Amino acid sequence: MGLFDVFSKKKKENLEKGLEKSKESFLNKLSKAVIGKSSIDDTVLDDLEEVLINSDVGIETTLKIIVKIEARVAKDKYVSTSELNEILRAEIASLLTENNTTDLDSFEIPKVKGPFVILVVGVNGVGKTTTIGKLAAQLKALDKKVILGAADTFRAAAVDQLILWGERVGVPVVSKGMHTDPAAVAYEAVKQAKEEGADVVIIDTAGRLHTKVNLMNELGKIKNVIKKFVPEAPHEVLLVLDGSTGQNAFVQATEFTKATEVNALAVTKLDGTAKGGVVIGISDQFKIPVKYIGVGEGIEHLQVFNKKTFVDAFFEK
């Protein structure tokens, strides 16, 4: 077994362990829905609808899945309940593929002129700063030169936490402390990255949603100043969502996608919850690729999201 196989095996184990609660809850509910039934009839479909909604897949996505299964049952005339697992697996994999995302194999960053700039958004408490620290560590392990910008200047804990992560993983952090202009921090971080020939800049931003106009203005200012150094920046606006909040994650995704042009998602804290279905619903509803998932505390528990591996881990008995 080669080194790559060892890492792949470990990654798969971490994912399966991280999704354990979601999988057990989902499969238990699913088996109760079909108990004593031999074919997929209206009662089974109603029960399945309830199972998917209770697993935080979301109403819209659930209805899409049910319609697809109904069409399949109508076409094949008789579909046994023993086939339901495989049909569901296929339909969910198909939904996750519809937003035209390519599965990534690693944390590789696209080649761009100047540093690749990632703006990280999300409400406080979702694991935003931790995700930035883990992402920085993964990129550094790929020999990328990374610089962090502590632009969440409204929360002392956020600035301090990012500085601690920088020290822990050996990555420089640009900070001006608390209550300073977030755009000024972003400006300095991208300026330093450009001067030092860094590959990636990751900028942490404030997670306040109660005044969307302020949030939009603030993110707009940050974007404008970093464009002075890298006209195409930010290349990625990464929204971090807490998977354990279930339907609340949908609300946050709705608000942030209105406030700024989010083009990638990270769903964290999937290991502590039975709400893993939220990844399926959010990916489908917002047509924004889920790029990373968090399945545990360690740096290696931030994983690049792979649709097939995720669906397999979700359904394997």
Q: 276: domain CATH number?
A: 3.40.50.300
Question: Which of residues 105 and 289 earns the better pLDDT score?
Answer: 289
pLDDT above 90 (res 138): yes
- Residue pLDDT, tens place only, 87-100: 898 888 888 887 65
Please give the model's pTM, rounded to 2 decimal places.
Answer: 0.92
Q: How many residues does the chain have?
A: 317
Q: Is 80 in the same domain as 120?
A: no
C-alpha 49/C-alpha 32 separation (Å) is 13
- Residue pLDDT, tens place only, 57-78: 999 999 999 999 999 888 887 7
pLDDT above 90 (res 108): no
Domain, as residue range, for 53: 3-97
Question: Across all residues in the chain, what is the average pLDDT?
Answer: 88
- How many domains does the structure of the chain reveal? 2
C-alpha 103/C-alpha 112 separation (Å) is 20
Rounded to 5 degrees, φ, ψ at 115 are: -70, 150
Q: Is 159 in the same domain as 288?
A: yes
| pLDDT interval class at 316 (50, 70, 90) | confident
**% the chain with pLDDT above 90:** 50
- Residue pLDDT, tens place only, 209-234: 555 677 788 889 999 999 999 999 99
Q: Is residue 315 part of a domain?
A: no
C-alpha 20/C-alpha 14 separation (Å) is 10
Give the domain CATH number at 31: 1.20.120.140
Question: Which of residues 103 and 201 earns the better pLDDT score?
Answer: 201
C-alpha 123/C-alpha 183 separation (Å) is 18
pLDDT above 50 (res 1): no
Last residue of a domain, which of 44, 70, 97?
A: 97
Q: Is the dihedral of CA 186, 192, 194, 199 positive or negative?
A: negative
How close are the terminal C-alpha atoms of the chain, in Å? 25
The angle formed by the CA atoms of residues 304, 308 and 311, to the nearest 5 degrees, is 100
What average pLDDT does range 275-280 have in this prediction? 90
